[in-house]
Amino acid sequence: MKLTENQKKAGIVITVISVITIGYFLFRKKPDSSTGFDDPTGNNDTGSNGSVSLFNAKNTADNLYALMDMFGTKEDEIVSELTNVTQTQFAQVIGAFGLKNYNSWTGGDDWGGSPLGLVGWLKQELGVTSEEYRTLKLKYPNYL
């Protein structure tokens, strides 16, 4: 049986497509199966039970504000809130915190004051010479 010119071309095209398809499935990058999905942002955290929780910068910023708002500062809880926050995530928390008026008498923004971002609030509330601030500064050297 003699193949026509069109049959030869079709055979070559089918062979090339098959090789490319097989090569794709053999050599493609496999997703990270440890978390169940691929998250290149670094915003996922796999808990000890294997569950995945997404990082929420707004929630972290709100929690930090609540710990610093009004009279008294919960220094240990501030450090604890930031324990599992990466440097990249900390930048997101700074953005989510925004500017809030800081009153040096009350610590809150209910009574006016100067607008400060999270870094300013942390400096004021913890004090730049405190152990807690130094710990955070070591963890987030690009921001504190």
Q: How large a percentage of the chain has pLDDT more than 70?
A: 71
Q: What is the pLDDT of residues 90-140, one digit of tens each?
A: 999 999 999 988 876 655 555 556 889 999 999 988 998 999 999 999 999
* Residue 83 maps to a domain: yes
By the 8 A CB rule, do 124 and 105 touch? no
Model pTM? 0.61
Quick one: pLDDT at residue 92?
A: 96
Quick one: pLDDT at residue 32?
A: 47
* Residue 30 maps to a domain: no
Calculate the alpha carbon distances from 21 to 10, 16, 29, 32, 82 in Å.
16, 9, 14, 22, 46
Token reading at 25: 């499935």
Q: For residues 24 and 46, give the distance between their C-alpha atoms in angstroms, rounded to a whole number.
A: 30
* Residue 48 maps to a domain: yes
Q: Is 28 helix (H, G, I), strand (E, B) or coil?
A: coil
Quick one: pLDDT at residue 3?
A: 79
* Residue 112 maps to a domain: yes
pLDDT above 50 (res 63) = yes
Q: Which domain holds residue 95?
A: 44-139
* Residue 33 maps to a domain: no
* Residue 89 maps to a domain: yes
Q: How large a percentage of the chain has pLDDT more than 90?
A: 40
pLDDT above 50 (res 5) = yes
**Torsion sign across C-alpha atoms 117, 119, 121, 124:** negative
Quick one: pLDDT at residue 98?
A: 94
State the total domains in the chain. 1
Q: Which of 27-31, 42-46, 65-69 is most confident?
A: 65-69
Q: What is the pLDDT of residues 77-101, one digit of tens each?
A: 999 999 999 999 999 999 999 998 8
* Closest of 33, 100, 12, 34 to residue 64, by C-alpha: 100
* Residue 57 maps to a domain: yes
